[in-house]
Structure 1
Amino acid sequence: MTAHPDPVDALITAWRTELPEVLGPTSELSKRILVLSGELTAATRRVLHDFGWTTAEFDVLATLRRSGRPYCMKPNELSRALLLSSGGTSNVLNQLVRAGLVRREPTPLDRRSTLIVLTDQGIGLTEAAVRAVAEAHAEVFAAVPPAVLRTATRALRQLSSVRRARKKTSTRA
């Protein structure tokens, strides 16, 4: 499969002409990742719009659903898992409680704290949304041969692994 010139090629060519010293080994990779990320984000937002959800609401619901039965977490666990502030998490949770998708329950062993629990309606809608988002993402890559997808996945996994290992080493120093 021969690659055809695309907007990233045009961008890289323009920078080679204008500021060649700015381009490094990661320039094209970075731009291509950003383009794909934008396409995946747009596909996700289209699906979530149909559900009437924000990305943050979907992230909370999906995090609860993938946590396994009984589909509950403490608010601070959700904040850490989603990299949201406690205030941001609280605002999202208030919306989801009003929509009947989650409920707050006292923690059995510590009545001072609460658990956020997916309701039956929340479970069903979250599963439908996760399926719809997965389908939308598959459509983004529909024309890509499976072997290319596997190769790209392995390469990105390796990039992430090397980056994490280097980050661990540099934080210990």
Structure 2
Amino acid sequence: MTTKATKATQTPKDPVDAITAQWAEVRPDLDTAPMAVFGRVYRIARAMGDRIEKAYGRFGISRGEFDVLATLRRSGEPYTLSPRQLSATLMLTTGGMTGRLDKLERAGLLSRSPDPHDRRGLRVTLSERGLAIVDEAVAAGLEIQHEALAGLGDEQVEQLQGLLRQLLAGSTRP
């Protein structure tokens, strides 16, 4: 059986350890365990976001543009949603969504057309080129994520997913 002390020696120290050690020196009354967790979550998210943004850049799209294309792709054939549905899914303002749609339409990755059921509405549809790009980009992003998790076993990945799911559920409550 592995003890906490043994586990700690197996994992190299990181910058978050240095920060929490400094706080322990100057404020030994504080429990810095949450700082250690969220400091690492933040650093991982930032590093992975940068790596994935770079991967998507190879396809001529940003992460935000990928999100639009991926949302259309996940919706299934005919890969069509209203701008309002896209905005709600991506938690974007209509102005922010319009800017992304304009750029993606100019690039030929999607098209906008009148909604046949609502004269005032629009439908956004993924183009064949957009479909090809989002399929390649999602595979490239997942490859980076798989590489990042390669040091963990399948059971550890499942455990991490569960713990993060619980943490997310608890952090989204008012």
TM-score, reference length from structure 2: 0.87
1:53 to 42, 45, 61: 61
Q: Distance in 2 between matches of 1:6 and 1:149?
A: 20
The gaps in structure 1 that reach 5 residues or longer are none
CA contact (8 A) 1:100 1:122 kept: yes
* Matched length: 166
CA contact (8 A) 2:20 2:32 kept: no
The residue aligned with 1:30 is: 38
Q: Deviations over 1:65-106 (max 9, x none)?
A: 111111111111111111111111101100000000000011
Q: Deviations over 1:15-64 (max 9, x none)?
A: 22234455444111101111111121022111011112112111100111
The residue aligned with 1:117 is: 125
Correspondence list, 1:70-109, <5 A: 70-109=78-117
> 1:155 aligned to 2:163?
yes
1:144 to 145, 152, 159: 152
CA contact (8 A) 1:63 1:78 kept: yes
CA contact (8 A) 1:15 1:23 kept: no
Q: Distance in 1 between matches of 2:64 and 2:78?
A: 21
CA contact (8 A) 2:59 2:137 kept: yes
Q: Distance in 2 between matches of 1:54 and 1:18?
A: 42
Question: Residue 124 of structure 2: SS of its match in structure 1?
Answer: strand
CA contact (8 A) 1:107 1:113 kept: yes
The gaps in structure 2 that reach 5 residues or longer are 1-6
CA contact (8 A) 2:68 2:86 kept: yes
The residue aligned with 1:13 is: 21
Q: Distance in 2 between matches of 1:95 and 1:77?
A: 18
Letter in 1 for 2:60: G
CA contact (8 A) 1:43 1:137 kept: no
CA contact (8 A) 2:23 2:32 kept: no
TM-score, reference length from structure 1: 0.88
- Aligned CA distance change for structure 1 residues 66 and 21 (closer, same or farther; 3 Å): farther
The residue aligned with 1:65 is: 73
